[in-house]
Amino acid sequence: MKIRMLKETRRMTGTVKWYDEKKGFGFVTPDVEGKDVFLHHTALQPSESEFFITGDRITFTIESKDKGLTALEVRRFEEKKEGVPSLKKEDLNGAAFKNLDLNSDILRAIEDIGYAFPTPIQARAIPVILEGKDLLGCAQTGTGKTAAFALPLLHRLCQSLRCEKKQIRNNRRIKALILSPTRELAIQIGNNFNILGKYTGLKSTVVYGGVGQNPQVNALKRGVDILVATPGRLLDLNRQGHLDLSYIEVLVLDEGDRMLDMGFIHDIRTIVDMVPKINRQTMLFSATIPKEIKQFARAILIDPIEIDISPEQPTLDVIEQAAYIVTKSKKQVLLESLLRDPSMEKTLVFTRTKHGANKVVKSLLRKRFLAETIHGDKSQTARQAALKNFRSGKTRVLVATDVASRGIDVADISHVIQFDLPDTPETYVHRIGRTARAGAKGTALAFCEHDQHKDLKEIEQLIQMRVKIVKNHHHF
């Protein structure tokens, strides 16, 4: 599917993919076409600063040159999101964190680990959090979102507790609670707080299930300012009287959509009701913002600022796309027939539910296909083993739910099959972006039921492409 050539007169919007300030050029990814466009500083309008960063939103026209598409008449695109600070050059150079007025002990720790400048989620979120506002943040793992809330949280506690080295309190009470869906992520968050807060005198600990609770209880008895926890273990310790959450000032929920997928919503609601509501600052971070997350956010956040650091979209023109019109009862037969094609060397299949994923794999194994699942009901060890087998080629087919698939970083996925169409067109784009990485080509197939033509049309409107329809397939 080749990208359609654009006329110079058509103005479009896009996101800066990368930009080398010293050399004065980079690339921008258009919102609707997908093919990267060359960006040179000479294309900037006279009123604009000659400076871009990854994630900047711009408007431009396109000219086709011998070496490819080039952006012209470039202007910054100001998306009106009230309360979200815009990025400035001085916020992203070596002195960026100093400009954020963070505590000197925190800045010292940042310097130790070699942070040069904040990532986009950090640059946008830190000022908001420092102002004490509630936040709904959309950012993927690996974008620096833990530091985005850890740094201002540490600063706030340093201010409220006046934690100069000579004034470290002996009667510590839990002031900040961070909830995580898995113990692996909780441990990672705890390590971040230890590194970034090592000079502040603040104490933190991590509590999670699957291990004995005595060391965790002893740490709580010694006193902590910051508690990182998984929901189940937190509730267990609270029922036993080992916790006092009545002094909580800051509540952070990380990986919100994954918590929903893993069935923690009722536990989370119980915990939210346990902590003070007056003067509490609450932050909710999620890699995606489905309607369930929006509804939940409305219930726990007060006038939140929304920040969306969207992942880079795939280059759609190198992905061969097709939609098979099929009844629900025939999907499994169609999948098995397609998988008989030896070119499907490494196939990622998406289902809407964990139960659906299990059912698909059970049928595939009966037909002697090497297949495994990856979803929220699997243990971390099982998920890692399945991913290792898929990456090495031992497993040819990996069946996943959207949330659990985020940890899948495999460069040579040959095919993506959407066994169930997603609820939103954006999720369709995220799914097919698992193939055609690092300049390779890929194939994305979708199973569309007869009453889902409207959903398919919405997908086509988003990607500005027609998806090939296959009706009379001979797979049965």
Q: How far is CA 136 from CA 28, 56, 124, 175, in A?
A: 26, 20, 12, 20
Say whether 89-308 and 12-76 share the same fold.
no
**Alpha helices for 89-136 (secondary structure H):** 96-99, 104-112, 120-130
Give residue-wise pLDDT tens across range 283-330: 999 877 878 888 999 999 999 999 987 655 555 777 899 999 999 999
Q: Give the chain's end-to-end CA distance (angstroms, integer).
A: 28
- Tell me yes or no: is domain 12-76 CATH 2.40.50.140: yes
Lowest mean pLDDT among 76-85, 156-165, 270-279: 76-85
Which residues have a Cβ under 8 Å from the Cβ of 390 and sit 6 or more positions away? 346, 372, 398, 408, 410
Which residues have a Cβ under 8 Å from the Cβ of 469 and sit 6 or more positions away? 322, 323, 325
- Prediction pTM value: 0.56
pLDDT band at 464 (very low <50, low <70, confident <90, very high): confident
Torsion of CA 395, 372, 315, 449, to 10 degrees: 130
CATH of domain 316-470: 3.40.50.300
C-alpha angle with apex 245: 226 to 305, nearest 5 degrees? 70
374 sits in which H/E element:
strand 371-374
Residues in the chain: 476
Structure tokens at 177: 């609670």
Give residue-wise pLDDT tens across range 15-71: 777 776 666 778 887 765 456 788 887 877 654 444 566 666 778 888 777 667 888
Domains of the chain: which residue ranges? 12-76, 89-308, 316-470
Task: State yes or no: pLDDT of 247 exceeds 60.
Answer: yes
Judged by phi (left if over 0) then psi (alpha if -120 to 50, else beta), residue 351 lies in: beta
- Per the model's pLDDT, the better-predicted residue between 381 and 231 turns out to be 231
pLDDT band at 95 (very low <50, low <70, confident <90, very high): very low
Q: Are 360 and 430 in contact (CB under 8 A)?
A: no
> CATH second-level architecture of 89-308?
3-Layer(aba) Sandwich (3.40)
Residue 252's pLDDT is 97
Structure tokens at 405: 């698939």
How crowded is residue 398: how many other Cβ atoms within 10 Å of its Cβ? 27
- DSSP codes of every residue in 161-220: HT--GGG--SS----EEEE-SSHHHHHHHHHHHHHHTTTT---EEEE-SSS-SHHHHHHH
pLDDT above 70 covers a percentage of the chain that reads: 80
Integer Cα distance of 302 and 278 in angstroms: 11
Structure tokens at 248: 């909580």
